[in-house]
Amino acid sequence: MIRVATIATTAVTGSLLFALGGCEFGPKKIEQTGFRGTAGDQIIAVKRIVAQPIPAPPYPLPADGGPTAAETYQNVKVVGNMSAERFSHLMASMNEWIAPKTGDPAKVGCNYCHNPENMASDEKYTKIVARRMLQMTLNINSTWSPHVKQTGVTCYTCHRGNVIPKNVWARADPPGGSTRTMGNKHGQDTPVAAVAYSSLPYDSFTTYLGANNNIRVQANTPLRTPSPGASIAHTEKTYGLMMHMSSALNVNCTYCHNTDSFSSWSNSRPQRVTAWYGIRMVRNVNESYITSLASVFPANRKGPYGDVYKVNCTTCHQGLSKPLGGVSMLPDYPYLRPAVVPPAAPAPAGTTTTAATLPGAAPVAPGPAAAAAATGGN
């Protein structure tokens, strides 16, 4: 009898451990984000909350005015109307935020992007990339305020002192997918951090952050209609993306959604609108500013299937709901916030709006409600 009880206890314990295999152990912090009884609490994994220190400026911000960068230096194509003094401050800051500090003397500090014998030269690909990333930063701070608000971004938001941001992604499978029958996992059943080690499709990024595909799960009607909603495959990929966003921000589904109706915008928290714009901002960054540099990047800066490493939510957030704890660096670097373009009001279905006339500016996405009307979804 004792032996049977022991076997039964062992079986129950084993089943419990198996059932909890997908849970994250360790201390949790619970925050109430809605009315009591609405299941709006946030359960935050304490071990994934890491300090995100902000570096001090290289030296005090110079006064504005005086000769411009274009008047002082050659081949300044992006911020030529900035004062030469503040342009030098920007270069010194980028040096601290990105450039290597040790290693080959020809590839550290200013030399990472410049030829010290000819600073105006574009011979190093890193200078071309840096110029495009500066355009991207200016565009985010002027056009994507529905997501970055007044906090904005700098190069440091992503790079954190690294040449390549630590959290980037590239295509996980070859283009076109596998044609094998045996051993073909169809893009899932391989636990990876991108989808919180679940059995969901492990490459939602290519579909939703590398392309402008609709994110759809829940239909508007109880029965199948002539125009069905999302397929099971796309639904699972959507869940995979949501798992990534939850992990990147260290939040639960209820940070944006109301579990009473995940699809309902009127029942959702304001953070869902912020996230909606964030997804489109990331797509814009990947398509207009990073993928467009595919011919510039060398092979060692690309993924296993030849595409450039791109960004996702973790690139900036790194386990916090607001990157760098919500602290804005722009007061120390005001030149990175050009004239802000007011957020576009939700446009009628089928219309588009135009972004600021910055170099490399991209179209502004219409609001969530307009997009839902245009696509027939939520």
Helical (H) or strand (E) element with 41? strand 41-45
How do residues 264-296 score in pLDDT, each as one tens digit? Answer: 888 888 999 999 999 999 999 999 999 999 999
- DSSP type of residue 32: E
Closest CA to 26 of 189, 243, 239, 250: 250
Whether the per-residue pLDDT at 210 is higher than 60: the answer is yes
Q: What are the phi and psi torsion angles at 136 (to 5°)?
A: -60, -45
Average pLDDT over every residue of 185-211: 85
**What pLDDT score does 184 carry?**
66
Report the chain's mean pLDDT, rounded to a whole number.
83
**Are the C-beta atoms of residues 251 and 95 closer than 8 Å to each other?**
no
Percentage of the residues of the chain whose pLDDT score is greater than 90: 55
Confidence band of 45 (pLDDT split at 50, 70, 90):
confident
Q: Could you tell me the pTM of the whole model?
A: 0.82
Contacts of 27 (CB under 8 A, 6+ apart): 46, 47
Lowest mean pLDDT among 109-123, 248-262, 305-319: 248-262
pLDDT of 298 > 70? The answer is: yes
327-343 exposure pattern, b = at least 16 Cβ within 10 A, e = fewer:
ebbbebbebbbbeebeb
The two three-digit tokens of residue 267, written as one number: 């029942």
Which two structure tokens, joined as six digits, stand for 253? Answer: 């589904």
Report whether 108 contacts 102 (CB < 8 A): yes
Res 230: pLDDT: 73
**Are the beta carbons of 203 and 187 closer than 8 angstroms?**
yes
| Rounded-to-integer distance, Cα 224 and Cα 63, Å | 64
**8 A C-beta contact, residue 243 and residue 205:** no
- Predicted confidence at residue 2, as pLDDT, reads 47
Q: C-alpha distances in angstroms, 345 versus 22, 351, 362, 365?
A: 41, 12, 16, 10
Helix/strand/coil for 56: coil
Whole-number pLDDT of residue 336: 97
Task: Return all residues near 195 (Cβ < 8 A) that are at least 6 apart.
Answer: 201, 202, 204, 240, 243, 244
Give 320-339 pLDDT, tens digit per residue: 999 999 999 999 999 999 86
DSSP letters along 298-325, please?
A: -GGGB-TTSPBPB--HHHHHTTSSSGGG
Q: Has residue 57 got a pLDDT over 70? A: yes
Q: How much is the pLDDT for 133?
A: 97
Confidence band (pLDDT; 50, 70, 90) for 102? very high
Q: Name the pLDDT band for 227 (thresholds 50, 70, 90).
A: low
> What pLDDT was estimated at residue 338?
86
